[in-house]
Amino acid sequence: MADSGSKGAVLAAVCVNVIITILKFVAFAISGSGSMFSEAMHTLADAGNQFLLYLGIRRSERPADAMFHYGYGYERFLFALLSAAGIFVLGCGVTVYHGIDGLIEGHKPRPGWFDFVVLGIGFVLDGWILYKAINVVRRQKGSKGFFEYLRTTSDPTVLAVLFEDCVACLGVLLALGGIGLSVAFNSGVPDAIGSILIGILLGVVAVWLGFKNRALILGISIPRDVELKIVDWLKSQPSIEAVHSVQSRVLGSEQFKFKAEVDFNGRYMAEKLKDWLENEPVVKTGASDQTPEQRLEFAKIFGEKLMQAQGEEINRIESEMRQAFPQLQFIDLEAH
């Protein structure tokens, strides 16, 4: 999968954002620009939050144990939710507050060439991370459309990087616009408005990511199209007549649990016992030639053989299901 691509995108984003954060805070110290402060806080929030995403990926890779039988896949969603909260508080809350404070106080920034150089460098580096994130999505989406994958994926980490860097690029443009207009009109208002708009953008992303990870933590079912493919595959098996009570759950990034009740084809299952039946005295000589005790014993043995054949058939089906759908980590098929 995917995890190597997600980890690579997240790590690259952390390293780049640390560099950009330092440059933007230096530029803010020189110019006093609200937009530059917002961009510095934005990038600082991105770096911290993407580090949380990386921790979530690492912790979610731990194998199942005696305490957590289904593994630690939900840790990825928990850390992604914490990341979304961090974006909202640091990215949105602080920058909007600073922008409003700038409107009230009427502070005029003192931007210079260094501000524009830093923002230009930030735009290029954020654009590079965005390009890497888009490539990860393209590799992971398979036959799905780009936006369909973004809507249905169970990997919130690459989504967070993708959307944060989209907003980062937009934020740089807003900061450039705010600082440029402040210089042109000798007013701090455009700069403050730029700060507020950057914060609002971050707030929108944070809320969207929060709801996405909330659904994953609560145990959202696997994508409907994948579930239907699995059910259709089951129905194509000669031993299965019908599938009922389908239940599924996302356990981690591209890790699913699937449970269903199935109606077995009795004639097909009996056919699997053909060789054994042909050598049974009750079948060869007829039930009327057997004592009641012999007939009862035959029924008991036949029942055991049939249940054994059914168990072997379930094992075969589950093994082939895992080959057909590698995302299925846990499968529970029960006779209806």
pLDDT at 270 over 70: yes
Band (pLDDT 50/70/90 cuts) for residue 165 is confident
pLDDT for 236: 92
User: What average pLDDT score do residues 106-116 get?
Assistant: 72
Residue ranges covered by each domain of the chain = 3-219, 225-335
* Alpha carbons 286 and 282: distance in angstroms, whole number: 5
Mean pLDDT of the chain: 81
Tokens of 204: 């929108």
pLDDT for 319: 92
Q: Does domain 3-219 have CATH number 2.70.150.10?
A: no
Q: What is the pTM of this model?
A: 0.70
Alpha helical stretches, state H, the chain:
3-31, 34-60, 74-86, 95-105, 113-140, 146-152, 156-185, 189-218, 224-235, 266-271, 274-278, 281-285, 292-324
Backbone angles phi, psi at 244, to 5 degrees: -130, 165
Local structure of residue 189 (DSSP, 8 states): H
Query: Of 60-64, 136-140, 233-237, which one has max mean pLDDT?
Result: 233-237
pLDDT at 47 over 80: yes
- Count of alpha carbons within 13 angstroms of residue 258, beta-carbon side: 27
For the chain, helix, strand, coil in percent to 5 are 75, 10, 15
- Please check whether residue 273 is in contact with residue 305, taking contact to mean a CB–CB distance below 8 angstroms: yes
User: What average pLDDT score do residues 121-141 get?
Assistant: 83
Above pLDDT 70, what percent of the chain? 90
Band (pLDDT 50/70/90 cuts) for residue 258 is very high
Fold of 225-335: Alpha-Beta Plaits (3.30.70)
User: What average pLDDT score do residues 71-87 get?
Assistant: 84
pLDDT at 1 over 50: no
Give the chain's radius of gyration (CA, Å): 30
pLDDT at 284 over 60: no
User: Which of 135-149, 184-198, 245-259, 276-290 is predicted with the least confidence, judged by mean pLDDT?
Assistant: 276-290
Establish whether domains 3-219 and 225-335 are of one fold. Answer: no
pLDDT for 280: 62
Local structure of residue 119 (DSSP, 8 states): H
